[in-house]
Structure 1
Amino acid sequence: MNIEHLKLFVRIASTANISLAGRELNISPAVASAHIGKLEETLGVRLIHRTTRKVSLTDDGKLFLPHAQEVLDSIETAQAAVGSGAQTPQGTLRVTAPASFGRMHLIPAIPVFLEQYPKLNIDFRFSDSILDMVEGGFDVAIRDAELKDSNLHAKKLADDKRIIVAAKSYIDKYGAPETPSDLKNHKIVNLTGLEVWDFKGAHGVTSVKTPNYLRMDNGEAVRDACIQGCGITLTATWCSYPQLESGELVQILQDFPLATDCALWAVYPSNRLLAPKVRAFIDFLAERFSGTPYWDEKLSGLVV
């Protein structure tokens, strides 16, 4: 079985486009199509559906994909374990991360990382949707959600502290809620999927279904709407620490902390041998965000 054919198949699964996958691997569309035909002939099954507009995996293709990815990962790990690769991570590192966290905290860190590992290049996919690691061909996923897939491993990078905030202009106009139950009488700016807020109290956890005055699918957009006085929001300190420092946003309901146990994780496939490029990236982020992360250090004394 040809390894280059496997690489092409994995990229087609990610891009849903034979020509695009071929360009990524520096081969023409005609050659790419021929390679996939050879792979299907070798396996004796059809792996992809071809139409004039796009391609998609067949049921056999979906079954074959994780095995193809595992073979490629094992080969890359084996190659990196000997020779110059043992000391120098190299190749393309594919990473997916939440859009806001990626822009605010990964992009500023990348020049330092790539200076340490000049033979690496990085392919980022920033999205607030959780992308499938196998189908996307990702080496690492940065996530702030609970790991549910037992076929993946995760390393904690930092705590993900959540607080309730509002702009001073909003408080001056509408006042601040004194208890979580008061939120039903206020304008709320929500991140899609986070409309129910859970608070710790003397008698346990209280869940409040907040009204959607505004709802958006991006954390920075939610924060910015709140800055403009559109309403109250639940935010991560890593997202809003500059505005909390400047006073554009202030914490409210301090006596009612959120009942959350969130963290930022580096998630990766559960291979017995971890590719050096993956280990280097995870170790770099773990060191950068270790202890009290820098965004929470900046907020010492400003939030509880």
Structure 2
Amino acid sequence: MNEPLEKMAIFAAIAEHGSFTGAAQALGRSKSHVSASLSRLEEELGLQLMHRTTRSLSLTEAGKVYLKHCQELVRSAAEGRQAIRSLQEEMVGHISISASPSFGETHVYPLLSAFKELYPQVTINLDQSDGLVDLKSGDFDLAFRGGRVVNPDRGGHGLDPDLVAIPLVKGHMIVVATPDYLAAEGTPHHPDDLRHHNCIGTDFEVNNLGWPFLIDGEIKRRTVPCDFTVQRNSLIKIRTLQSHGIGWMPSYILDRELRAGELVLLLTDYQSPPFDIYLTYAYQKVLPLRQRRLVDFIKAHFADMDTIEIR
């Protein structure tokens, strides 16, 4: 680093660590070098940047203004180094991905397996959870999520400006039952008919939130009777296939069963609009090569798929 830029970086380090000693340790320089660098910088600028006492350092008004520019310089230099390193990286390292259990099993796992075949030196962790994960904590690199991309620090509300959200595909929540169940109990033709059937879903959706339907041009929710609630789409699917009732779940886990006629699609005239499925990650100016390759791989897979079809 040339001398003017070095002095700016040293000043930023002094402000960050609050002392000459802390800055010197962080930079691997002597305390005297750090102190002298600040003095030379102030002399060149003709302004005092920091108040000095025997016990503390504090920024002057000029120092506060100048510090912002110095910090931006340090950040830009670090990003530049990372950009160059990414060009030289090999496809090695670890990637941790979060996805809901149902979408993870049906779509994400096959994708990651194919990616792993291409890049065997990359290690992968797929975490399957319905809960929101904090992508800014560093525990996860990528996440697949349906609906809006929210900030868990705000209780799950509000779009998160610190995340990149790439819309991949649209999904549907659908109502289904087996032919045997319908033969025995009859076929509902309107959402209100569900009150006469046993339904299968999660406790919150069945008893509190209600299933959403498009009725008279508006989304209206209906709570439905249910004698056995579960917390996973995979279990809703199993009980529905066992003819215990009418199930409500994502279309993307039912492709084979709908094709084979094992399940019948119901109430299609009242189906709620599709929801977006996103690939999300914390914003970075320069992504590590392995993460950038995986993002491109995922985008290419979904590029020609507008909606996960209902067969």
TM range (shorter): 0.5 to 0.7
Q: Quote the RMSD (CA, aligned, Å).
A: 2.8
- Deviations along 1:80-119, one digit per CA (max 9) or x if unpaired, are 6335754644210011111122122222222321232233
Which protein has the larger Cα radius of gyration, Structure 1 or Structure 2?
2
Matched, 1:246 2:248: no
Change (3 A) 1:108 1:182: same
Structure 2 partner of 1:92: 94
Change (3 A) 1:104 1:80: farther
**Counterpart code for 1:274:** L
Equivalent residues, number:
226
Structure 2 partner of 1:156: 167
Are the equivalent residues in 1 in contact too, given 2:169–2:307 (CA < 8 A)? no
The offset of 1:265, in angstroms, is: 1.0
Identity score, percent: 24
Structure 2 partner of 1:147: 149
What is the CA–CA distance in structure 1 between the aligned matches of 2:229 and 2:250, rounded to whole Å?
16
Q: Aligned with 1:121: secondary structure? A: strand
Structure 2 partner of 1:182: 193
Structure 2 partner of 1:236: 250
Matched, 1:219 2:233: yes
**1:257 aligned to which of 253, 266, 271:** 271
Structure 2 partner of 1:82: 84
Q: Aligned with 1:214: secondary structure? A: coil
The offset of 1:182, in angstroms, is: 0.9
Are the equivalent residues in 1 in contact too, given 2:82–2:286 (CA < 8 A)? no
| Larger mean Cα displacement after TM superposition, 216-225 or 186-195 | 186-195
- Deviations along 1:254-285, one digit per CA (max 9) or x if unpaired, are 22122x34121111012222232222222211
**Counterpart code for 1:118:** P
Change (3 A) 1:293 1:121: farther
Change (3 A) 1:267 1:193: farther
Could you tell me the TM-score, scaled by structure 2's length? 0.65
**2:181 aligned to which of 160, 165, 170:** 170
Q: Aligned with 1:131: secondary structure? A: coil
Change (3 A) 1:193 1:279: farther
What is the CA–CA distance in structure 2 between the aligned matches of 1:206 and 1:89, rounded to whole Å?
49
What is the CA–CA distance in structure 2 between the aligned matches of 1:127 and 1:293, rounded to whole Å?
25
What is the CA–CA distance in structure 2 between the aligned matches of 1:75 and 1:282, rounded to whole Å?
25
- Deviations along 1:119-150, one digit per CA (max 9) or x if unpaired, are 31111211122233344610001111311221
Structure 1 partner of 2:11: none
Change (3 A) 1:178 1:122: same
Q: How does 1:39-118 map to 2 (within 5 A)?
A: 81-82=83-84, 86=88, 88-118=90-120
Change (3 A) 1:152 1:203: closer
Change (3 A) 1:197 1:77: farther
**Counterpart code for 1:144:** G
**Counterpart code for 1:112:** A
**2:139 aligned to which of 116, 137, 140:** 137
**Counterpart code for 1:287:** A
Change (3 A) 1:121 1:230: same
Could you tell me the TM-score, scaled by structure 1's length? 0.66
**Counterpart code for 2:144:** I
